[in-house]
Structure formats: structure tokens, C-alpha cells
Amino acid sequence: MSEVAVVAYGAGNVASVQFALERLGASVRLTDDPAVVADAERVILPGVGAAGYAMTRLAELGLVEPLRAFSRPLLGVCLGQQLLFERSEEGDGVRMLGVIPGAVRRLAPEGDLPVPHMGWSRLTPDRDDPLLDDVAAGAYAYFVHGFACPDGPATLARADYGGAVPAVVRSANRWGCQFHPERSADTGATILKNFLSLPC
């Protein structure tokens, strides 16, 4: 049975992530303890809301360095994906975990599409990766976000929302999903199952 530490730092919908993982047979520990995170088999960093608040909470709890140093599979979800990058233009600018190069910017879709992006969008894989095994091109995922990560070498899959939105990213042992896999039906369950199967 895979063991997962879900970082419960007051900026994520940890209960729905926990239940989605448990449905797949994982043993889940909700934690804000840096030592537990550092020793975990694998880690999920969820996130909802503002990057500045999230980084402040991670710093207050002593979680910034354990997350930066974590060497086994780590998955950032929604805001958690954005926190993997170097900085965000939110507010006056926010320094983030910096494990993937680039800056997160306010979502600015072409046309009259509303921001935040809320709803189902299709995924277009860019390259093969174990996290995306059995995820078909055009599969739907559920998004809720007003900022977007830079589209670059880390991008594994994109969504189209008045322009390309990096939907899945990876750098070394760190992956991110801009969407909510725990709310993305079969697509999300497949991605979470794949994450649980990644070698540690």
C-alpha cells in the first residue's frame, strides 16, 4: 500500500484529496509536521487561494526547506503546482519554492473568457510521462484558477483557455497539476493512481 503525506497547512482542500487517495487504497497522513514531510514516501502539496498566504503559512510551519529538499515523488495540486515555481506576480510579487524555473502570471485569456477559469477543459499531452499513463488526449479535467504557470520545458500537458495553459508539469521528482485531480472523475483518478505507483 502506498503511503502519502498530504500537507495540511491551511491553504488546501485536504479532505477531498485524502478521500480520493483512500479510494485508491493509499494510506494517507494529513500533516503540517516538517519531520513527517521529510520522511514521507511521497508528498502531495494541495492549495487553494492566494500564493502569498500559502507561502507565509509554509514558512511559519517550517515546511519550505523540507519541501525544497524532498527527493521522492511530490505532486503539487492547483495552487500547489504554482508554488513549485520561482515567483508569482500576485500582489507585489511572491517568492515561492523555486524548484521549477519561471514566474506564475495572472491568467489573461484571449476573447471574453472569464477569470478565474472554472470548469472542465480538455488535456493535450505534450510528451510521455508515467504520471500521464492511460490518460487519453482530450480527456477532461476540472480547473479553478486565476493564475497560470509559465509554458516551458517543464510542461507535460496543456489545456486551452483562450491560450495555452500548462496543465501538468514536471521537474525531476516534482510534478504538478493545475487542475484538481480529486475532482476530475476518471481522469483525475488515473493520475492519482499513477502518482501512487511512481518509484520512490
End-to-end CA distance of the chain: 13
Asked if 63 contacts 40 with a C-beta cutoff of 8 angstroms, the reply is no
The yes-or-no answer on residue 78 being catalytic is: yes
What type of residue is 33? D
Task: Verify whether residue 41 is a known catalytic residue.
Answer: no
Determine which one of 78, 117, 149, 177 is catalytic. 78
Is the CB of residue 176 less than 8 Å from the CB of residue 141? no
Query: Which among 117, 145, 177, 180 is annotated as catalytic?
Result: 180
Clarify whether 182 is annotated catalytic: yes
40, 30 Cβ separation under 8 angstroms? no
Q: Which helix (H) or strand (E) holds 164?
A: strand 164-171
Distance (Å, whole) CA 130 – CA 198: 7
Set 117, 145, 149, 182: catalytic member: 182
Q: Is 161 left (phi over 0), alpha (psi -120 to 50) or beta?
A: beta
* Residues recognised as catalytic: 78, 180, 182
